[in-house]
Amino acid sequence: MFTEEPAPGTDTGGVTPFATVSQAALAANVAEVREILARNIYRAQPPAKIIAVTKTVGAEVVNALKPLGILDIGENRVQVARPKLNAIDPQFRLHWIGRLQTNKVKDIIDKVWLLQSLDRIALAEEVERRAEQQNRTLDALVQVNIAGETQKAGFTPQDVRPFLRRMKDYHSLRIRGLMAIMPFIDDEAQLTVYFQGMRTLFDALAQEGYENVRMEELSMGMSHDFAIAAREGATMVRVGTALYRPR
């Protein structure tokens, strides 16, 4: 059984963030998620890539994902992620999947491989500034609020194109696709509509073409709906609970 405690000084928001999972359960869960993805392929596209959401597990569990063939991990809190990153294999690629405050960009700009939650112009400007200071280019996905939920961040579908037209003026930030967080509902038909809407937008933007923009990745789907997301055209799914559940 992997057991991990929060690092000293880690801000956990009053909740212990790290779960426990046996190596056998982890391997079985990864295999099951892969099998589901293989059954839900979109057209001739390869199976969607697993982004392991690791915000609730510690470094030991993260490192156990590597021999299972998972190197892409997702975090969403700077205070929890930074100590963990010092204890995991450097081959892991960090995807930032949560809302990022502009004053926290400086703390993770040198750690992130893909910023999946680019949700506003102010964040784009700060990422551009900090990335330029680091003499690096950061790839990002534009977060789209496809369901129009007032409590969620992201560009509306109507605001995505005006934002992408601005990207010609950015030199240290590149757009590589779209990301969406769906409503947490059980209505599969409605979820399918939202996923299809994202894929339609993704394909249309790819056809239109924008400077400093390539529509390569469509990140959508989480533990409760990743099969639908994959079936409707996701290239990445962000899975946490389904990987760490006990057996």
pTM of the complete model: 0.92
Residue 6 near residue 17 (C-beta atoms within 8 A): yes
What's the pLDDT score for residue 247? 87
Residue-wise pLDDT tens digits, 117-171: 999 999 999 999 999 999 999 999 999 999 999 899 999 999 999 999 999 999 9
Residue-wise pLDDT tens digits, 205-241: 999 999 999 999 999 999 999 999 999 999 999 999 9
Q: Average pLDDT in the 184-195 region?
A: 96
Q: What are phi and psi of 66, to 5 degrees?
A: -60, -50
Q: Comparing 65 with 16, which gets the higher pLDDT?
A: 65
What's the pLDDT score for residue 6? 43
Residues in CB range of 83: below 8 A, 6 or more apart: 7, 9, 10
Which band of pLDDT confidence, cut at 50, 70 and 90, is reported for residue 1? Answer: low
Is domain 23-244 in CATH 3.20.20.10, yes or no? yes
Write the single-letter amino acid at 67.
P
What's the pLDDT score for residue 2? 54
What's the pLDDT score for residue 113? 98
Q: Average pLDDT in the 165-189 region?
A: 97
